């Protein structure tokens, strides 16, 4: 029985596409093989992360499927993405695979590993280098998100909006866009250190709870402190200050005016629009137009110049829709 199966490491499956041409099995303590992923449905990264959290290191493949496994492992999305001679559509699919897997891993495990961070960062880097339709790709990623995972949707939504805000404000250098996208994707990961029923602002009622909640940007940085593969102060500052307000009434440090970093001002706008439209801010789900109106009325919060061009665009597109 043993010889009919070949082990494949869970880690190597992370760098694969989701579609499978074979079934994957788990080896149970009883010695029996139990089907974990079926070829008809393919890999599910959320479930893969759950298995990893439980300590699973290997899956097994039937003997007759060995050649298919080899073929599967040779088609790495990251390698596909990096190869500039691949057609755009192929690279786009590869980008989705890398980012989706990275985000699931980051959000399921709570603590992204160095590998996750590096992979997500590389994916952004390679995409920005050559994909003119990068925004289109991010939108596609939003489509593939599981509908019930608000945080995942929020990460991606924040990245899309922040990317648009940055572009509208002439911030088009690859470096700035990378910082914005990376900070946006991971800015709220620290919230996962809070109890499950207190991860949204309106769920925190007592002074102690509110004070603790307002440390979530610090928690994100703490979560990342061992994983950041680059000593980039700008990414850290962008994340740390995304809840600061220009009038100094924000958190966690109440920094004011010029002390609020330019990229954090952009992330603050992308973050707010995403939170309001997902009902994460006060429990009410705003339309995009309502959210923008709410933000424009919030005197002293945002950089008015940055917000106004974005507001126009969103309001125009809402009218057109
Ligand atoms: Fe957020």
pLDDT of residue 89: 79
- Return the minimum-mean-pLDDT range out of 33-47, 61-75, 114-128, 298-312: 114-128
Please count the CA atoms within 13 angstroms of the CA of 189 that sit on its side-chain side.
30
How many angstroms does the Cα of residue 315 sit away from the middle of ligand 1?
22
What was the pLDDT predicted at 229?
46
Going across the sheet that includes 58-62, the strands are: 5-9, 58-62, 24-27, 33-37
Which of 274, 234, 225 has its CA nearest to residue 117? 225
Q: Which range has highest mean pLDDT (5-19, 63-77, 179-193, 241-255)?
A: 241-255
* pLDDT for 168 beyond 90: no
As a whole number of angstroms, the distance between CA 14 and CA 16 comes to 6
Distance 73 CA to ligand 1 centre (A): 35
Q: How far is the CA of 253 from the centre of ligand 1 (A)?
A: 17
Whether 114 has a pLDDT exceeding 70, the answer reads no
Residue 252: is the preceding peptide bond cis (ω within 30°)?
A: yes
- Find the DSSP H helices in the chain: 10-14, 45-53, 66-74, 77-82, 88-109, 114-130, 134-144, 150-168, 174-186, 207-213, 216-224, 233-240, 262-278, 288-297, 304-320
pLDDT value of residue 262? 95
Encode pLDDT of 188-222 as tens digits.
888 878 888 898 889 999 999 999 999 999 988 88
Q: How far apart are CA 152 and CA 301, in angstroms?
A: 25
Please give the pLDDT value at position 209.
95
Which is higher by pLDDT, 109 or 171? 171
Tokens 């494949």 locate to 8
What is the per-residue pLDDT for 1? 46
How far is the centre of ligand 1, averaged over its atoms, from the C-alpha of 271 (Å)?
5
132 has pLDDT over 70:
no
Phi-psi region of 192 (alpha: psi -120 to 50; beta: other; left: phi over 0): alpha
- Average pLDDT of every residue of the chain: 84
For residues 122 and 33, the model is more confident at 33
Spacing, Cα 200 to ligand 1 middle (Å): 9
- The residue ranking higher by pLDDT, 242 or 224, is 242
CA 255–ligand 1 middle distance (angstroms): 18
Residue-wise pLDDT tens digits, 12-51 = 888 788 889 999 999 999 999 999 999 988 888 778 878 8
Distance CA 262, CA 241 (A): 10
Higher pLDDT, 109 or 150: 150
Tell me the residues surrounding ligand 1 (ion) with CB < 5 Å: 188, 271
Rounded to 5 degrees, what are φ and ψ at 27? -90, 115
> Residues 162, 135: contact at Cβ < 8 Å?
no
165-174: average pLDDT: 83
Is 134:127 a contact under the CB 8 Å cutoff? Answer: yes
φ, ψ of residue 6 to 5 degrees: the values are: -120, 135
Q: What is the set of domains in the chain, with CATH numbers?
A: 2-74 (no CATH), 77-320 (1.10.3210.10)
Closest to 310 measured CA to CA, from 321, 299, 320, 302: 302
pLDDT tens-digit readout, 152-162: 788 888 988 89
pLDDT at position 224 over 80: no
For residue 57, give the 3-state DSSP assignment: coil
């Amino acid at each position: 029985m043993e010889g009919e199966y070949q082990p494949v490491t869970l880690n190597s499956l992370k760098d694969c596409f989701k579609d499978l041409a074979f079934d994957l099995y788990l080896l149970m303590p009883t010695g029996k093989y139990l089907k974990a992923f079926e070829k008809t449905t393919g890999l599910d990264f959320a479930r893969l992360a759950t298995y990893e959290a439980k300590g699973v290191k290997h899956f097994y493949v039937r003997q007759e499927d060995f050649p298919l496994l080899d073929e599967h492992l040779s088609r790495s999305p990251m390698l596909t993405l990096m190869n500039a001679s691949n057609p755009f559509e192929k690279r786009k699919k590869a980008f989705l695979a890398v980012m989706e897997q990275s985000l699931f891993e980051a959000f399921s495990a709570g603590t992204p590993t160095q590998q996750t961070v590096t992979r997500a960062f590389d994916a952004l880097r390679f995409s920005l280098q050559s994909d003119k339709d990068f925004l289109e790709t991010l939108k596609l990623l939003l489509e593939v998100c599981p509908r019930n995972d608000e945080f995942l949707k929020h990460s991606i939504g924040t990245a899309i909006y922040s990317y648009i805000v940055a572009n509208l404000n002439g911030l088009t250098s690859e470096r700035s866009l990378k910082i914005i996208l990376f900070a946006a994707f991971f800015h709220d990961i620290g919230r996962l250190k809070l109890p499950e029923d207190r991860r949204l602002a309106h769920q925190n009622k007592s002074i102690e709870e509110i004070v603790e909640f307002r440390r979530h940007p610090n928690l994100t940085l703490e979560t990342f402190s061992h994983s950041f593969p680059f000593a980039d102060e700008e990414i850290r500052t962008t994340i740390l200050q995304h809840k600061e307000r220009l009038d100094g009434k924000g958190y966690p440090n109440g920094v004011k005016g010029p002390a609020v970093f330019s990229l954090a001002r952009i992330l603050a706008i992308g973050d707010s629009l995403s939170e309001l439209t997902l009902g994460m801010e006060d429990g009410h789900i705003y339309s995009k137009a309502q959210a923008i109106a709410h933000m424009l009325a919030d005197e002293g919060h945002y950089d008015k110049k940055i917000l106004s061009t974005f507001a126009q665009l969103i309001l125009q597109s809402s009218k057109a829709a």
